[in-house]
Amino acid sequence: MLAANDAHQCLQMDSNETKFPLRHKAARLVHCGILGVLPHRCDMTRAFNFSAGPATLPESVLRQAQAEMLDWHGSGASIVEMSHRGAEFMSVAAEAEADLRRLLDIPDDYAVLFLSGGATTQQALIPLNFASPGQRADYVVSGHWGKTAVKQAGVYVDVNIAASSEAEGYRTLPPRADWQLSPDAAYVHITANETIHGVEFRDVPDTGNVPLIADFSSSIASEPLDVRRYGVIYAGAQKNLGPVGIAVMIIRRDLLERSGQPRADIFDYRSHVARDSMLNTPPTWNWYLAGLVFKWMLAEGGVAEFAKRNAAKAALVYAAIDGSGGFYRNEVAHAARSRMNIPFFLPDAELDARFVAQAKATGLLALKGHKVVGGIRASLYNAMPLAGAEALVAFMADFQQRHG
């Protein structure tokens, strides 16, 4: 097995030869002995994609979708060509809901919706459905997407910023003891994981009798989740659940009895529940793919198994950052660090750019940080294998040796 300082030489081998395209170089970290594990990755044809969303999907799911694209289960037609009200797709939809309920242990007194769009749309619909006009709603802001939720809701409710970590640059979570909650609030809203700033709630905050609503877009299904602690859980699918273009809503049924505010029928969650998420034509392809991802997660061992895998991947990357002597730095308080999205910085912006470009050339994609904060960001969702984190850490060691 080669020493880590031979990584650069190994990565440069055959870079101009067609038999080793650049996108295969991450696999060559294994082939050359930099990583003495997972030899089956040596013949990979896909790069490791660290995109924050749309994000990497399980290869087996993509291959199944590819195989079924022209002729779904002998029907003679593609799933994207079938009526959403036909028996074939109705069975796909029912299985997807049943599998998601099993995966997340969702009780019967919670409704599940599959809706067009993403989480930002739901941020606007939540106050319309669960608060009276002008009613107070409490928001805890721990990053960019929490602030976005406030912007969407402010048109419809009296937003109370119960707590915020903006003054700290969103590098930590607002301590629960400092939250200024309103006893008459319609709900309390949090963002469970902030994809840009890389902070994550690991404990469920107690909000008393006021329903807790949480945006789980980037951490849903990444570990066991006590759904009963929440009034509403919502998530865009494009990180852990499937492709972009569909969102999942998990709503405690008693909250659907609220009158909310005047709104069109298409914006009323009650109407969508009554029609099994088919009030209008749903994004059937996205729903189908999400269903395949649910089945994959269940077959892999469910959320308990993914909790172990995600902890292992995050631990590898954080150890590489913390052990770099300051060459790489993550500025988030340790107790608030996200397992899903790890932002970090190099000594200067020029090195950031070199890191991203060279990583891409070796088959490590989408590592550029969000424009709001810059730097680097590695997203380690469920479908990212441990080998991806290992390849990233090996590249980080090599890059530091060459540029540190």
Other beta carbons within 10 Å of 365: 18
| 215 flagged as catalytic | yes
Judge if the upstream peptide bond of residue 39 is cis by omega within 30 degrees of 0.
no
Q: State yes or no: is 151 an active-site residue.
A: no
Instruction: Please give the angle made by the CA atoms of 383, 302 and 79, to the nearest 5 degrees.
Output: 65
Given 215, 295, 368, 398, the catalytic residue:
215
Catalytic residue among 72, 145, 285, 296: 145
Among 229, 141, 154, 191, residue whose Cα is nearest residue 338: 191
Alpha helix positions (H), 54-133: 59-68, 87-104, 119-130
Q: Are 155 and 283 in contact (CB under 8 A)?
A: no
Cα(first)–Cα(last) distance of the chain, in Å? 24
Which of the following is catalytic: 25, 239, 313, 368?
Answer: 239
Angle formed by the axes of helices 302-322 and 284-299, nearest 10°? 90
A 10 A CB-CB count for 206 gives 10
What Å distances lie between residue 94 and 83, 84, 217, CA to CA? Answer: 15, 12, 22
Is-catalytic flag, 239?
yes
What is the distance, to the nearest Å, from the Cα of residue 354 to the centroid of all Cα atoms in its chain?
26
> Which three-class secondary structure state does DSSP give residue 283?
coil
Reduce the DSSP state of residue 369 to 3 states and report it.
coil
Judged on CB neighbours under 10 Å (0-12, 13-18, 19+), 208 is exposed
Q: How far apart, in whole angstroms, are the C-alpha atoms of residue 221 and residue 112?
A: 15
For tokens 């990212």, the residue is 384
Write the single-letter amino acid at 170.
Y
The tokens for 399 are 């890059």
Peptide bond into 54 cis (omega under 30): yes
Residues serving a catalytic function are 145, 215, 239
